[in-house]
Amino acid sequence: MKMSKKKSMLVLAAMMIGTFAFGSAGAVHAATPTRSLVAASQMKEASIRDLDNDTRVFRVDKSIEAKNVRFQNRYGFEVAGHLYLPQGFDVKKQYKAVVVTGPFGAVKEQASGLYAQEMAKHGYVAVAFDPSMTGESGGTRRNMGSPEIFTEDYHAAVDFVTNLKFVNPEQVGAIGICGLSGMAITAAGSDSRIKAVATSAMYDMSESISDHYNGAYYTTEQRELVKKHLAKMRDEEAKTGKSIRGAHELEVDAKGSVLTFDTMFPDKLPADANPVIRDFYGYYVGRAYHPRAINSNTLAWDSTTPYGFFDFNLMDNIDELGETPVLLITGDKVHSKYFSDNVYEKIAGPKEEIVVPGATHVDLYDQMDKIPFDRLLAFFDENLK
């Protein structure tokens, strides 16, 4: 998809001020022969190759080597990821590992890649991946969200890392950012290979999609109107065989009309735009624009995406976490903070919630002075012994 003139100017401006980077920092690493990594993989349906056409939109650290990887989930979707190797990597050693994805509608070249790179800088093997049907991952139906399939993608990423000979399979954790946090927690509840799980700027997408937003929950009448709208969209897609773009979170106005859209953001925000929307816009359309990210380009989600989130509540199995340690990172200016607060209250086992002073939701995507990486690393160091 070709960028609009407006988006091109935003990207250029961001690159000039250094907040957006296909750039680099740190010393150049000594390249690890890809063939040695391939030989170290015990997973049949997986591939590892050099990272070419690098389009990461955060400051790339050249001392951290990244590879392109592909692996299949349980349903046969090919999951695309980037494998980050620690400084001084030795294929004959064994390392701790983390798998990470999110936010909802983002790609591995954005926030999840930054988190993975930071973990690799501190000695971890890390995999940032695109959930199925988004980014470079497989699926003939594009831009479709699914709580079940996205949770399965976490399990598949764990399949991949635990079958690398240079990863200790007893020292694997998961990180979920924003709307993939619920999937990370759900996966950790059923997958005993995930020894610890952390979330950042958590969104519970089941609640957000099926019951709208805190303080603006659907009435019984509004819920029925939304379900009728979804049925209409699904019927039209069935009749035409074509995907219809639409809002993944539907609002009902005072007249009883269901409000939807087929683009995530306009080329220009109105002067009175909500500060939260302005924050998202500054990240996805500005400093971290990426053409494959649903939230960055002019494509919205498939209009039937809400079905899965109406059907399944990601937090139903939270008791399955048992004694798996959970870290929840949020901020005192994060509009979604209540999701982290609510989950913290529900967790019966080991848990910690970090509230970062002055941090907004989007600050926790890429602002290095706000993301408490030291606390995140200490959490995994302690719990992946």
Closest CA to 179 of 10, 308, 59: 308
pLDDT at 31: 83
pLDDT at 7: 46
Q: Where in the chain is the domain with CATH 3.40.50.1820?
A: 19-204+314-383
pLDDT at 29: 62
- The CA-CA-CA angle for residues 209, 213, 215, to 5°, reads 150
Closest CA to 60 of 125, 120, 124, 127: 120
Which of the residues in the chain have pLDDT under 70? 1-30, 213, 215, 298
How many Cβ atoms are within 10 Å of 88's Cβ, its own excluded? Answer: 10
pLDDT at 11: 41
pLDDT at 19: 39
How many Cβ atoms are within 10 Å of 68's Cβ, its own excluded? Answer: 18
pLDDT at 12: 38
Backbone angles phi, psi at 329, to 5 degrees: -105, 125
Listed in sequence order, the DSSP H helices in the chain are 5-17, 34-40, 111-121, 147-162, 181-190, 205-210, 220-240, 275-281, 306-311, 337-346, 363-366, 373-383
Q: Domain 215-308 is in which class?
A: mainly alpha
DSSP code for 385 = -
Closest CA to 21 of 52, 49, 61, 80: 61
pLDDT at 271: 87
pLDDT at 1: 38
Q: Where in the chain is the domain with CATH 1.10.10.800?
A: 215-308
pLDDT at 265: 84
In CATH, the number for domain 19-204+314-383 is: 3.40.50.1820
Give the pTM: 0.92
Q: Both tokens of residue 264?
A: 């995530």
